[in-house]
Amino acid sequence: MNRDLASYKFLDDAGDLFRFTGRFFQQWFKPRYEIAEFIRQCYIVGYKSLPLIGLTAFIMGLVLTMQLRPSMLKYGVEFELPAIVGIAIVREIGPVITALIFAGKIGSSMGAELGSMKVTEQIDAMEVSGTNPFKFLVVTRVMATTFMLPVLLLLGDAISLYGSYLGVNIRGDTSFTLFWMQVFKNLSFNDVLPAFVKSYFFGFAVGMIGCYMGYTSNKGTEGVGSSANSAVVLSSIIIFFLDLLAVQITDVLGFN
């Protein structure tokens, strides 16, 4: 059988990614724990992506509100604008946009960073220096993305809603308190929880794929670039698939 067929290659790669993920679960609870490095990575991950996530979230909230206003006006329910925007942002747009920006910023930089560490033998050098490079580099990074994305999501949602508040006030006049009251009157725990939970999975996927692409990258500078690129592409696709899966699960569990 022709092993070069694209589908075989795809299955091969998918198998490698699953094995890599398996290795993560095998190693993450075993000592020695790289706590300091984990905290450093959390800081880097948050610090690097917060400005970008904040900016896109703000614009998203503002634009979404302004785009929705005409239709709302047509049906005479423009006073429901904060409520509908709140639902849209908290349930879907916030988590997905945040995760995509996160993948573009953090996934690619992890792919490139680990990729260049691999080709310049820095990963081998760590191993020789009495360090398990998988734990030190991969486990800490994946944990950092998993824990930081939900935090970034909360900040992103808040900024996004603030953008929406401004959007409401460009044409209308709603006080700050009234705006938030309308948003929260409509939002229940069942809206917030699934979105929050799925962002852990998004964060995990971004970290895992970024690290996998970098850690297994090929020799040569071209290898590093393509690791970064495939990290972004694959994690973006996976985010949408996870989102699709999440909506089915919440539906079955009755979180609606």
Partner 1 sequence: MTEVQQATNKDQTMSITSVLVIRHLYKSFGKNHVLIDFNLEVHKGESVVILGKSGSGKSVLIKCVIGLLKPDQGTIEMFGQNIPDLDHEEIDQVRARVGFLFQSNALYDSMTVRNNLEFPLRRHWIKVTQEEVNSMVIEALEDVGLTHTIDMMPEELSGGMRKRIALARTLILRPEIILYDEPTTGLDPITAKEIIGLMREIQAKYDTTSVIISHDMNCIRTASDRVIVLIDGKCHAIGTYEELKQSDDPKVKHFFE
Positions that interact with partner 1 (CB under 8 A)? 113, 116-117, 120-122, 124-132
241 neighbors 120 (Cβ within 8 angstroms): no
Report the C-alpha gap between 96 and 249 in whole angstroms: 17
Judged by beta carbon, residue 159 or residue 228, the one nearer partner 1 is: 228
CB of 27 to partner 1, least distance (A): 11
Give 245's contacts (C-beta < 8 A, 6+ positions apart).
Answer: none
CB of 136 to partner 1, least distance (A): 9
Judged by beta carbon, residue 109 or residue 145, the one nearer partner 1 is: 109
CB of 116 to partner 1, least distance (A): 8
CB of 80 to partner 1, least distance (A): 50
Judged by beta carbon, residue 6 or residue 36, the one nearer partner 1 is: 36
CB of 164 to partner 1, least distance (A): 38
CA dist 173 to 22, 70, 143, 178, Å?
A: 54, 16, 44, 10
Judged by beta carbon, residue 78 or residue 113, the one nearer partner 1 is: 113
Judged by beta carbon, residue 54 or residue 115, the one nearer partner 1 is: 115
Q: Measured on CA atoms in the order 181, 185, 188, 192, is the torsion positive or negative? A: negative
| Burial tier of 24 (Cβ tally within 10 Å: 0-12, 13-18, 19+) | buried
Number of C-beta neighbours around residue 75 at 10 A: 8
Specify the residue for token string 């020695």.
32
Task: State whether residue 154 is helix, strand or coil.
Answer: helix
